[in-house]
A = this chain, B = another copy of it.
Amino acid sequence: MTVYPIELRLPSDVSVLEPLQLIIEAVGKSAEVEENDLSQLSVAVVELAKNAMEHGNKNDPEKIVTISFSIFPNRIRFLIDDEGSWEPEKALGFNPGEGKELLLTRGRGVLIARNLAKWVEFGLTPEGKTRVTLIWPLN
């Protein structure tokens, strides 16, 4: 069975966050993610989408964040692409939460996304743009 991805293209503007959160939960629902887990899925994806808008696209509403998702029998795969070209190694070891860092007002998005989604991978598209892959297992 071929799984066809659905693509969501979002301008980098905070106004899209609320519809995005609801859309991601709708996607989860259609893949039969348990009601109780939907908000964790949406938190994880919204964290990564916010990063894409902010760090990848510098909050320029003309720049697009593309979230494509494919619902496989055992998982949903989300690809979150922005128009930047991040060096993904920077994501490794990024983990605030010790000593003084605990009081930073930011720097928790990736940590939260990784914890809620179990699998979050930073990389680049074939064209060299930042791509984050999030896998949400289904049971």
Residues of chain A at the chain B interface (Cβ within 8 Å): 2-11, 13, 15-16, 18-23, 25-27, 29-31, 61, 71
Q: How far is the CB of A52 from chain B (nearest CB, A)?
A: 14
Chain B residues with CB below 8 A from A11, complex form: 4-6
Contact of A19 among B6, B9, B13 (CB under 8 A): B6
CB-based contact A61/B26 at 8 Å? no
A2-B61, A26-B25 given; A71·B7 CB < 8 A:
no
Chain B residues with CB below 8 A from A71, complex form: 19
CB-based contact B16/A22 at 8 Å? no
CB-based contact B9/A30 at 8 Å? no
Q: How many copies does the complex hold?
A: 2
Q: How far is the CB of A105 from chain B (nearest CB, A)?
A: 26
Chain B residues with CB below 8 A from A6, complex form: 8-11, 16, 19-20
Q: How far is the CB of A20 from chain B (nearest CB, A)?
A: 8
A15–B71 Cα gap in the complex (Å)?
10
CB-based contact A19/B30 at 8 Å? yes
Q: How far is the CB of A125 from chain B (nearest CB, A)?
A: 16
